[in-house]
Amino acid sequence: MARSPLADAVVRRLREAWEWFLSPTSLDEGFVGEDLVDERGIERPWLHNWDHLPKRSAGAGLRSDDVRLARARADEVARLTVGDDVWRAVQRQGHVDLPSRRYPGLTYRLRIGQRIEVICAPGVSSPWPFPYLCVNPTYPLPEAEFFAHLYLYLRDDEFQVIRVAAPQPWDQALGRTF
């Protein structure tokens, strides 16, 4: 007895999925890799689900030279984004402090690759129950580049960070940065 066209299509799709799953690049490409690039050739990685990648990974398909180059470029992007003075300060001190515009007496301490530390002046209560705020990028980014994102958000649109940040009782490295 012959299979129906629908059954043939299902079998073909299952075979493709299985071949993709067993391929060495399956972790990087996904089924919808072409959906990451729009008609102008611009990448749109936020449209993809990145949950399959291990934490602190750029992806299984990137060589160590690729990661090193991405980090070097990210350092330059971050320096140009936050400015030379802020970049030198974070390189020298390991952090930069940004006073909150929304909460008087509260300061955000930003460190590359780490959670945001919330520091309150004496007598000031934090609006959060814990001293760290966790914000991760949607897709893997070099640590320095995401640091620049957070710096701009906290400086120019603090509410966006407040809206998505998850208060945490301890510090640790961010999960979607490398």
Dump pLDDT digits (tens) for 123-149: 999 999 999 999 999 888 999 999 999
Least Cα distance to 133 among 93, 170, 78, 103 occurs for 170
For residue 34, the 8-state DSSP code is G
Residue of higher predicted confidence among 176 and 61: 176
The number of domains in the chain is 1
Mean pLDDT of 100-116: 97
Is residue 31 included in any domain, yes or no? Answer: no
Tell me the residue range of the domain where 71 lies.
58-168
Is residue 18 included in any domain, yes or no? Answer: no
Whether residue 28 is predicted with pLDDT greater than 80 in this model: the reply is: no
Report the pLDDT value the prediction gives residue 84, as an integer from 0 to 100. Answer: 97
Report the pLDDT value the prediction gives residue 21, as an integer from 0 to 100. Answer: 54
Is residue 80 included in any domain, yes or no? Answer: yes
Is residue 164 included in any domain, yes or no? Answer: yes
Is residue 48 included in any domain, yes or no? Answer: no
What band does 47 get if pLDDT is binned at 50, 70 and 90?
confident
CA atoms 37, 39, 42, 45: torsion sign: negative
Residue of higher predicted confidence among 108 and 70: 108
Mean pLDDT of 49-76: 82
Is residue 111 included in any domain, yes or no? Answer: yes
Is residue 78 included in any domain, yes or no? Answer: yes
Amino acid at 143: E
- Alpha-carbon span 6 to 23, nearest angstrom: 26
Three-state secondary-structure class, residue 172: coil
Is residue 45 included in any domain, yes or no? Answer: no
Three-state secondary-structure class, residue 120: strand
Whether residue 35 is predicted with pLDDT greater than 70 in this model: the reply is: no
